[in-house]
């Protein structure tokens, strides 16, 4: 009987120690992810990815497609509103990015990424990542549109009914 109690107590102790180690690992992973998201270079990349100018241009384009042209005072109000809304949701975006980083990368990968960002070369590469993706998207967009047109045609003719 005492052997069973000792085994249960030993198992419970292992679970507590393992849980504590996992909590420490989770805390370290979260701290590393927060460090990455909070890094000035990452912050600038986020700023560039969801910039006021980019969002305003997108909205103005949508309005123009509907036949609406904004006056100067309306454009200024639009800019102010976008800035306020981006500031309001920034903490949520950073939280989502932190979660995505910690769920996608290992602690070692995040630490390596942070180390890379702390170099001049790493910062330069990271700051150019949005431009790289914009260039790629601009070049790949027409190809993808062509593929979707072909897919539509092929699916209509080749998909079994």
Going by C-alpha positions, the residue among 26, 14, 44 that lies closest to residue 117 is 44
pLDDT at 114: 94
pLDDT higher at 49 or 9: 49
Percent of the chain with pLDDT over 90: 57
pLDDT higher at 128 or 4: 128
User: Does residue 121 have a pLDDT over 50?
Assistant: yes
pTM: 0.67
pLDDT at 92: 95
What's the mean pLDDT in 136-156? 88
């Amino acid at each position: 009987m005492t052997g069973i109690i000792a085994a249960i107590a030993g198992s419970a102790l292992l679970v507590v120690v393992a849980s504590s180690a996992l909590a420490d690992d989770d805390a370290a992973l979260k701290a590393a992810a927060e460090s990455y998201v909070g890094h000035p270079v990452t912050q600038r990349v986020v700023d560039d990815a969801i910039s006021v100018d980019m969002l305003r241009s997108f909205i103005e384009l949508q309005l123009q497609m509907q036949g609406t042209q904004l006056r100067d005072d309306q454009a200024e109000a639009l800019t102010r509103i976008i800035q306020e809304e981006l500031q309001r949701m920034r903490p949520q975006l950073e939280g989502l990015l932190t979660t995505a980083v910690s769920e996608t990368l290992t602690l070692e990968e995040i630490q390596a990424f942070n180390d890379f960002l702390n170099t001049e070369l790493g910062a330069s590469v990271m700051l150019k990542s949005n431009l790289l993706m914009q260039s790629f998207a601009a070049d790949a967009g027409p190809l993808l549109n062509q593929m979707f047109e072909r897919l539509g045609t092929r699916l209509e003719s080749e998909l079994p009914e």
